[in-house]
Structure 1
Amino acid sequence: MIKKTWANWKSSHIGRLLGESLRNQGWLYGIAMAAMVVVAGTTAGTAWMMENIVNAMTEPEMRSKVGWVALAVIGLFFSKAAASYVQAVFLARAGNRIIAVQQERLYEKLIKRGVGFFSRNESSGLLMRVTNGAQAARVLVDVVVTSFVRDLLTLVGLVFVMIYQQPMLSVLFFVVGPVALVSVRMLLKRVKAIMQSELMALSEIIKVLQETSGGITIIKVFALEKHMTGRMNGAIRAVEERANSISKLQSVASPLMEFLAGLAIAGILVISAIGFGDSEPTTAGQLMSFITALLMAYEPAKRLSRMRVVIETTLVPIGMMFELLDEEEPMRERPDAKAMEPGPGEIRLKDLTFGYKGDTPVISNMNLTFEAGKTTALVGQSGGGKSTIFGLIMRFYDPDSGAVEIDGQDLQGVTFASLRQKISYVGQETFLFSASVMDNLRYARPDATDEEVMEAARDAHAHDFISKLEYGYDTPVGERGAFLSGGQKQRLAIARAILRKSEILLLDEATSALDAESETLVKKALDRLTENVTTIVIAHRLSTVLEADKIFVIQDGEVLEEGNLESLIEKDGVFRQLFDHQFKQPAAEGATSPQ
């Protein structure tokens, strides 16, 4: 039974957190705990010394010992002050290390998660787990350590002084203590539920702030200021109400303890005045020592009574933190995964079936070959599975059945790093980091020289506009590239792909944000870039795929047609309908006229 209880406690959130923290920061906590023992001992010693202090002041025969008593008092208070300093410093260092370690672990877990994870979880919720969870972990460890070492030992020491000085009067203390603990226990059930609601409301505040920052243009255009202000005010009021509720519950413990302490002190004064239970006379020093110990016991007893309330408020965010840390990662690198062997970059999809929800396939039994060194275009209506093919090639997802191979190597048997090194990608939405232009380009190849970076920018026809920026290549681009236009961001993304020099290039509407002149220039750069590179292009504007070596028409997760431009037009099928619709001219004339 004891063994099972111990195992359950070790696996609980509190047991895991304390075990990890004390194991990893053991020496810091060890020094802090040693200092706490000194604090507890000197606190009890102060109450003990009150007998000598009072007797030295009131009894003539003790006057000769005043000097020694004074030195003892100085020693006690100096020791307590020094120990309190050591305790605070090392406890803070250990607590800060807990926050850092937990945040590092959480981010490491997040960065390894697949793309699908981030599409299922809002960033505001993840932010709450990383920040609040780590902070709550520190608070919980701190309160447990200080409560069970400093406060408990202090209380034990003071109770010993009380019993030694006045055994009968101490009985009243043991009557008041359990009453206070039972009262506090009644508060705990409500605290947990309120804390969960408060975290949800805090997440809503973060969400509204993120949406305001990212969608300010839409907010202004559609005059949504009032609507967004209402959402924010509602979330803020919800946090305020729940914070007030938690504060009210937490604050009940202190007045309750104070009232009960007042009753105890009043009772002790009355009992001591009438001399109840005294078998021998009580000196003024003994009574003063007892009352001092009783008054000093109030603070550690109060902190111990509030400990459970604090623990309950921290267990909610800590539970959310561990939920994230413990969640299984469906996209994992196999233990025996090998680096990809060099090859020309031929890609094959073999009998491939995949669905995001498992029961609804987005791609069904697909067989495709993307020839090495050739340009292949994927066209068709939105939602047909084209971007999903890209995700499978980059191994953001694993197929439900079948395989994706590059140069005959199944992607599930190779390392992520070697696979991603083989691929460059330019998507519809260009993401730039909040850094300089140079840094954003160099992320593609950290060892590239400044000249290589600039050459890639020239090939993407980005060098001219970069040179005109305030600090040239050292100009910050802002959050998500906010300081640049859509066309400028897209040209930087293309320059980034050029700099990477990978065997495989994936272009998902890569020229969609460019004006006609920039598109013409970038197309010329892409022509050079795609020479002898396995290139797959997703495009809804057919003008961007007219020169592809092969075109696949994808619809509802299946390949409806394949061939080059001329053969697909001659088939008079889905592609020809798309072609005629976009160029609004007879198919017979459309094969060569669009440029």
Structure 2
Amino acid sequence: MARNKFDVDEELQTLFNGQHLKRLMGYIRPHRKALTITVMLMIISSIALLLGPYLVREAIDHKIPDKDVDGLIMISIGLALAMLTSSVCLKFRIRLMSSVAQKIIYTLREDIFLHLQKLPFSYFDNRPHGKIIIRVVNYVNALNDLLQNGIINVITDMFSLIFIVIFMFAIDVRLTLISMVGLPVLIVVTFLLKRAQRIRWQRVSSKQSNLNAYVHESICGIKVTQSFAREEENKNIFNTCNSAYKKSWMSAVRLVHLMWPISENISTLSISLLFYMGTSWLAYGEYIITVGTLVAFVSYIGRFWGPIMNLSNFYNQIIMAMAYLERIFETLDEEIVVKDQKDAYPIPTIAGSVTFSNVGFAYEENNPILKGINFHVEAGERIALVGSTGSGKTTIINLISRFYDIQEGDIFVDGHDIQKVTLASLRQQMGIMMQDTFIFSGTIMDNIRYGKRDATEEEIIQAAKEVKAHDFIMKMQDGYQTEVNERGSRLSVGQRQLISFARALLAKPAILILDEATSSIDTKTEMALQEGLERLLEGRTSFVVAHRLATIKNADRIFYIRDGRIIEAGTHEELIDLGGAYYKLFMTQYEILNNDIAL
């Protein structure tokens, strides 16, 4: 699969359907008690507000003509209590729904993050990380208004609408029917705009994702940017992404804002028609309508169109949320390719033997990386993997850790098929130092402890000493408590690798995997490290991917990989005597090393 880039719009694999809203309701359902309380509060608030026009009608038609002062005082008190009740209910509704919305967002974001932890390396290899981050943060946050206000508002507005219609029909059926004459027009317009709105919000999410991807890429590569004075060119690229996002946003918003004036105009025309008919009936007296009835009805018609317009706004929220829900659920539906089988069992404590039986593997279909790999490694044996870049060395060690699943053959650890054991039990008994070392934000001690969370301070210091990291750590301002930034920007490349090496070794794994572990350490440091490596590798099965002779020579066996096959295997001396590919590699590096020493 070709890697998606910041300037390539993401294509949805699954389009929106009713199941997405059903799944969203699954996150809402655990909070139904709070939602029920909120709905009850809003119903009470709606009823309290709807009593207002009715009380006004009573005052105009009866209390004022009868000069009933006590009655007017009671109506005034009733109006005040109604307003107070509505305000109190609204206050508690806001607090309750804010809490519920954030809990739902918390759970949704947690599910996405946990799912991402289980996805295979290929998922992250095929898309910019900025496009992944935006789904966890921005897209989930975009649902806040829908969850906090939209859903509860649509429920309460539906109840309000029912009560309003009941009150209106109770006062005058004919005026009620006149008030509703514009409703079919609004419904038709809403559905006509539906498809265009959804397409435009999909475009917004794509452009926003592209912008986020480029910002993330630019920040990660800021040192390279400044080194090559690319600031101006990068600014132009950023402006292109930013402009595309702005254009798509404005296009979507223009369509959204079209709903409000349409609703407002239909509402105004309906109210105007009501005024015309009502005043006509009053003037001619053909129908008996009191002034109080007309005043009350005007108040109710305003309240009638309020929920209607709120419902149209909720429809807009749903359309906008669709674009984000599609991306969120697309991520959650991403298949976890490397996972425990249903009958997977925890692998017992291992000695460390490893067997590859006719293993074939490809990252992409019809482009095999490994072809018929066969070997058996005894527990405690040290294996060096050598060969040109892209030959398949790193792929072999990735398969031992089961970061990818093989397409052909079998891999056994202590006789256990690694496809049939649980991932956690397998990886917990391995120490892995990948070629791309990663240092997390926090202290140096926390970074070394990352692979063994219960390690004592003494164990951490001992591991650092054995890999020759202790001296440079103690020279830092706060020693092991020195705070390092994300990706270890305060450390040199060699220092980061040594810390990563200590982290891998602290776990005391049965199988130790080192992928170019000394690639960024200078020759002098590497020579000092060899003594510690010899002690640490003793008694452990180890697979070492390296180019430097010092790391390779002491291996029990060396596998020379070319084009996905092991073309030579043996000890250093055996391969030198063979005079093949390994011999040529050795002689080339030997000459380079001699020249370095001479200098």
Q: 1:31 aligns with which of 19, 33, 37?
A: 37
1:196 equivalent among 188, 193, 202: 202
Q: How far did 1:269 drift? A: 2.1
Looking at structure 2, the residues matched to 11 and 406 of structure 1 have their Cα atoms a distance apart, in angstroms, of: 46
Question: Structure 1 counterpart of 2:519, which letter?
Answer: S
Equivalent of 2:336 in 315, 324, 329:
329
Aligned residue among 188, 212, 225 for 2:231: 225
TM-score w.r.t. length of structure 2: 0.92
Match of 2:73 among 67, 72, 96: 67
Q: Give me the CA root mean square deviation.
A: 2.3
- Does the 8 Å CA contact 2:35/2:152 hold for their aligned counterparts? no
The equivalent of 1:49 in structure 2 is 55
Out of 235-244 and 404-413, give the one that drifted further.
235-244
1:383 aligns with 2:383: no
Letter in 2 for 1:248: R
Q: Which residue of 2 aligns with 1:302?
A: 309
- Aligned to 1:352, the other structure's residue is in SS state strand
Q: Tell me the CA shift for residue 508 of structure 1.
A: 1.0
Query: What displacement does 1:266 show?
Result: 2.3
Instruction: Report the 3-state secondary structure (helix = DSSP H, G, I; strand = E; otherwise coil) of the residue aligned with 1:559.
Output: strand
1:327-349 deviations in Å (ceiling 9; x for gaps): 32221102222222223211111
Distance change >3 Å, CA 585–CA 269, structure 1 → 2: closer
Provide the residue aligned with 1:6 in structure 2. Answer: none
Cα deviation per residue 1:271-315 (whole Å; 9 max; x = unaligned)? 222217965532222111111111222321111122222211111
- 2:297 maps to 1:274: no
- Give the whole-Å Cα distance in 2 for the aligned partners of 1:343 and 1:88: 57
CA distance in 2, matches of 1:257, 1:398: 56
* Offset of residue 492 of structure 1: 0.4
What is residue 416 of structure 1 aligned with on the other side? 423
Tell me which residue corresponds to 1:290: 297
**Secondary structure, in 3 states, of the residue corresponding to 1:412?**
coil
Task: Check the 8 A contact 1:143/1:307 in 2, yes or no.
Answer: no
2:51–2:82 Cα contact (<8 Å) kept: yes
1:446 to 444, 453, 456: 453
| Kept after mapping to 2: 8 A contact 1:43/1:154 | no
Q: Could you tell me which residue of structure 1 aligns to residue 3 of structure 2?
A: none
Does the aligned pair in 1 maintain the 2:27–2:108 contact within 8 Å? Answer: no
Superposition pairs of residues 528-567 of structure 1, within 5 angstroms: 528-567=535-574
Alignment match of 2:413 (pick from 398, 406, 413): 406
Q: Residues of 2 paired with 1:41 and 1:137: CA distance?
A: 29
**1:112-511 matches, cutoff 5 A:** 112-142=118-148, 145-275=151-281, 280-511=287-518
* Deviations, residues 550-579 of structure 1 (Å, cap 9, x unaligned): 111111111101111111111111111112
1:583 to 573, 581, 590: 590
Checking the alignment, whether the CA contact within 8 Å between 2:179 and 2:271 is kept in structure 1 is: no
Deviations 1:423-461 (A, max 9, x none): 111222210111111110111211111111111111111
Tell me how far 1:149 sits from its aligned partner. Answer: 1.8
Q: Does the aligned pair in 2 maintain the 1:165–1:287 contact within 8 Å?
A: no
Verify the 8 A CA contact 2:154 2:314 in the aligned structure 1: no
Distance 1:370 1:351, change over 3 A: same
Counterpart amino acid of residue 443 in structure 1: Y
Contact conserved, 1:487 with 1:514, CA < 8 A, in 2?
A: yes
Contact 2:204 2:252 in 1 (8 A): no
2 CA distance for matches of 1:476 and 1:585? 38
Q: Mind listing any 5+ residue stretches in structure 2 that lack a counterpart?
A: 1-15
The alpha-carbon distance between structure 1 residues 476 and 57, as it changes in their structure 2 partners (threshold 3 A), is: farther
Aligned partner of 1:107 in structure 2 is: 113
Q: 1:566 to 1:278 in 2, by over 3 A?
A: farther
Cα distance, 1:514 vs structure 2: 0.9
Q: Aligned equivalents of 2:59 and 2:587: distance in 1? A: 104
Output the CA distance in 2 between the equivalents of 1:131 and 1:585.
50
Q: TM-score, normalised by structure 1?
A: 0.93
Mapped contact 2:473–2:480 kept (Cα < 8 A)? yes
SS in 1 for 2:566: strand
The answer to whether the 8 A contact 1:109-1:325 is kept is: yes
Partner secondary structure for residue 362 of structure 1: strand
User: What is the rounded CA distance, in whole Å, between the counterparts of 1:470 and 1:93 in structure 2?
Assistant: 43
Check whether the contact 1:17–1:141 (CA below 8 A) recurs between aligned residues.
Answer: no
How many residue pairs get matched?
Answer: 581
- The percent identity for this pair of structures is 29
Identify the range of structure 1 (58-67 vs 565-574) with the bigger mean alpha-carbon deviation.
Answer: 58-67
Structure 2 Cα separation of the partners of residues 146 and 48 of structure 1: 26
CA distance in 2, matches of 1:522, 1:504: 19
Question: What secondary structure sits across from 2:500 in the alignment?
Answer: helix
Shift of 1:142: 4.7
Paired with 2:573 and 2:166, the residues of 1 have a C-alpha distance of 98
The equivalent position to 2:22 in structure 1, one of 4, 15, 34, is 15
CA–CA distance in structure 1, aligned partners of residues 56 and 533 of structure 2: 88
Q: Secondary structure at the match of 1:187?
A: helix
- Check whether the contact 2:338–2:403 (CA below 8 A) recurs between aligned residues: yes
Between the aligned partners of 2:285 and 2:561, the Cα distance in structure 1 is: 97
Q: Distance in 2 between matches of 1:572 and 1:22?
A: 69
Paired residues of 1:374 and 1:534 also in contact (CA < 8 A): yes
Q: Is the 8 A contact 1:184 1:306 kept in 2?
A: no
After superposing the two structures, state which structure 1 stretch, 87-96 or 431-440, moved more.
87-96
| Amino acid of the structure 2 residue aligned with 1:467 | M
Distance 2:70 2:556 in 1: 108
The aligned residue for residue 13 of structure 2 is none
Structure 1 residue 530: Cα displacement: 0.5
Change (3 A) 1:55 1:466: farther
